[in-house]
Amino acid sequence: MIELVSDPGWELLEELNIETEFDIVKARQSVRQYAKDAGMGIVDQTRITTAVSELFRNMYMYAGGGVVRIQKGMYEGHPALVITCMDNGPGIDDITLAMQDGYTSGQGMGYGLPGAKRLVDDFVLQSEPGQGTSVRVAKWK
Amino acid sequence: MITNERRIPIIKIRDFLIVSIQVDMHDRLALQLQTQILEEIARTHARGVLIDISTLEMVDSFIGRVLSGMASMAAIMDAAVVIVGMQPAVAITLVELGLEMPGVETALNMELGMEMLEKRLESER
Amino acid sequence: MNSTTITNAKERIEHIEDILSSVAAGDLDLRIESEFEDDLTGVEQAINLLIDDLTHELKKSLKLKQEMEEKLMKIQEQQKTILQQQEDLMELSSPVSKVWENILILPVIGTLDSQRTQIMMENLLQKIVTTGCTTAILDITGVPTVDTQVANHLLKTVTAARLLGAECIVSGISPAIAQTIVHLGINLSNILTKATLQDAMIYALRKNEQLINGKVVLNQIDTDEPK
């Protein structure tokens, strides 16, 4: 698993495991609640919830699951919600290709990663073939 | 909040099927609903389907794909699908996600959706 | 040998030291006092003059500082007002109104930035849902220019409106904006545009079957019209 370093100032809100399809639903509902608590508007709540839903599904489909860390804190000078997804899956061979609209290596239609990136304010992806994939997204008001 | 294996009810009124999705669907439930609706179209000879999603707080690429797929499949079976009551936040997010659902008919509310289907049916008669 | 004589040299130098350290500590009212007139007197007087100058300068700079602080406060106040006004303007400048049965109009005036466009877009979509109007006209006659981001937001609004079940018409695209849009490579071919607000209105009325033989009718009285 590729560990993405957290800022020591961030507060850990919740850590969840994605193992089943129900976990995807449960985790995205959690994220929505935290976005609401953070005072985000309805559109931003929907954006972040949808973005993480794509990421959780990727973890479930391509890596059989993974770990989700929900944190809040200052991110690039904004009070933000930071969600980190880490898995032990096969990793991504060609990240540039995976970030292209319409590209998919599996059953998806390929809106997952580039779509999720458009819905958040910051998107960090690290992946090594054989070592898994880690994605961090941040959303602020 | 999360329905396990509960089915989403499909109601038939005259020539149309009415489905109201009120739960945050996991992927398998969405696919199951797709099959269920297509089977009901075949069984009841319905000419149109109204799918109300006004209480859905989120439509991601998977659910979006299931919905637009269902519209195409139903069209081959000579039934029109109208997606009803999408929330503005959901619509904005779908567009930003890159899922513009071309070819899918939409209506602001049930009444307008029903009118659309009726007009369509009338023009065929 | 004619040497300089200084009366009470030690005491007087100590006195100078005392005064100087007091002055350094901020007490500017003190001056060197001496009852003798000799070679040290010049130094004493010079120091006193120096303290006078220092006092004067210090007072001046204090006054300046005070003035600066006051000005800063004023500027901060003004900035607050400007921010508030900007927010107010943002809300005021995107009024969505229902002008006819089933028809909404959003006249956009002034320069659009990404944030304002986004707020406008959300307002319009929300209004479409709450009023149930299936036609919305976005009139941008009063918009001097657009950039890529703003054009994309407009495009997004039209697409999102379609997902809700409404049609969004854009009217009043100026030659400058048309040029910008094409130069930027933004594809607006999927959205319905009309030259003027009037054309858009006529189109909307026709579509809703509210314009019959050049006369505008309300849907409700439509059926009561004599043949």
- The topology (CATH level 3) of A11-140 is Heat Shock Protein 90 (3.30.565)
Asked whether the beta carbons of residue B91 and residue C166 sit closer than 8 angstroms, the reply is: no
Predicted local confidence at residue B68, as pLDDT: 94
Residue type, A141: K
Q: Are the Cβ atoms of A32 and B57 closer than 8 angstroms? A: yes
Looking at beta carbons, which residues of chain B come within 8 Å of A115?
61, 96-99
> C34, C12 in Cβ contact below 8 A?
yes
For residues C196 and C171, give the distance between their C-alpha atoms in angstroms, rounded to a whole number: 5
Distance CA B80, CA C38 (A): 116
User: Alpha helix (H) ranges present in chain C?
Assistant: 9-24, 39-92, 114-131, 148-164, 175-183, 197-207, 219-222
Q: Which residues on chain B are in Cβ contact (under 8 Å) with A43?
A: 88-89, 92-93
B6 shares contact with chain A (CB less than 8 Å)? no
Contact B101 C129 (CB under 8 A): no
pLDDT in tens, B62-97: 999 999 999 999 999 999 999 999 999 999 999 999
Chain B residues closer than 8 Å to A29 by CB: 1-2, 24
Size of interface A-B (CB pairs under 8 A): 76
Range B99-103, long-range pairs (CB < 8 A, 24+ positions): B99/A111, B99/A115, B99/B61, B99/B64, B99/B65, B99/B68, B100/C159, B100/C163, B101/B64, B101/B67, B101/B68, B101/C163, B103/B68, B103/B71, B103/B72
CB contact under 8 A, C165 and B95: no
Q: What is the ipTM of this complex?
A: 0.91
State residue C92's pLDDT score: 62
pTM: 0.78
CA distance A102 to A70: 28
DSSP helix/strand/coil, C104: strand
Tell me whether residues A25 and B24 touch, CB distance under 8 A.
yes
Residue C154 in tokens: 């407009």
Q: Taking the CA atoms of chain B, what radius of gyration do you get in angstroms?
A: 14
Do the Cβ atoms of B108 and C128 come closer than 8 Å? yes
Scanning every residue of chain B, which has its alpha carbon at the shortest distance from the alpha carbon of C162? B106
pLDDT digits (tens, 9 = 90+) for C156-190: 999 999 999 999 999 999 998 999 889 888 888 87
Residue A25 sits at the chain B interface (C-beta within 8 Å): yes
CA-CA distances (angstroms) from residue A30 to A27, A52, C101? 5, 11, 41
A108 close contact with B: CB closer than 8 A: yes
Q: What is the pLDDT of residues C88-103, one digit of tens each?
A: 776 666 788 898 889 9
* 8 Å CB contact of B92 and C166: no
Q: Residues of B with CB below 8 A from A53's CB?
A: 58, 60, 62
Q: Does C125 touch chain B (CB under 8 A)?
A: yes
DSSP assigned state of B8 = P
**pLDDT in 10s for each residue of chain A, 141 residues:** 899 999 999 999 999 999 999 999 999 999 999 999 999 999 999 999 999 999 999 999 999 999 999 999 999 999 999 999 999 999 988 888 888 876 666 555 566 889 999 999 999 999 999 999 999 999 997
Q: Inform me whether the pLDDT recorded for C119 exceeds 60.
A: yes
Q: Do B89 and A42 touch (CB under 8 A)?
A: yes
Interface touch B106/C165, C-beta < 8 Å = yes
Residue B21, min C-alpha distance to chain A (Å): 15
In the sheet that holds B10-13, the strands lie side by side as B10-13, B16-20, B48-52, B80-84, B105-107
Residues of A in contact with B88 (CB under 8 A): 43
Q: Could B107 and C156 be called an inter-chain contact, meaning their C-beta atoms sit closer than 8 Å?
A: no
Ordered by start, the domain boundaries in chain A are 11-140
Residue A42 has a CB neighbour count (10 Å cut-off) of 17
Take residue A108 and report the two structure tokens written for it: 């998806």
Tell me if residue C17 falls in helix, strand or coil.
Answer: helix
Q: Could you tell me the domains of chain B?
A: 10-120 (3.30.750.24)
DSSP string, chain A: -PPPPPPTTPEEEEEEEE-SHHHHHHHHHHHHHHHHHTT--HHHHHHHHHHHHHHHHHHHHHHS-EEEEEEEEEETTEEEEEEEEE--S---S-HHHHTSTT--SSSS-S-HHHHHHHHSSEEEEEEETTTEEEEEEEEE-
